Amino acid sequence: MSATPYELRAQLLKQAEQILMYRYQRRYDTIRENTHIALQKNPNFDHTIVAYPESPTTEDIIAEAEKLYKFVQTK
């Protein structure tokens, strides 16, 4: 059974959000772990300068969904 265009768009948005949130969480966890290690090695490490990634915006999710949609359209 085929998805309606509305259902396909909804699925692509959900998948795009999952992809971007997974990437974000991996980057965040890596930075957090590296900061923890740095603090263990050097208690004077200035953890306030660490730049954490920003979570994906709605625009990011839509752009990712559009990339997925283009892939779906290719034959």
Percent helix, strand and coil across the chain, each rounded to 5?
Answer: 75, 0, 25
Report d(CA 53, CA 43) in Å as an integer: 23
pLDDT at 17: 98
In this structure, what token pair is assigned to residue 10? 């909804």
Q: What is the mean pLDDT of residues 40-55?
A: 95
In this structure, what token pair is assigned to residue 27? 């980057």
For residue range 12-37, list pLDDT tens digits in order.
999 999 999 999 999 999 999 999 99
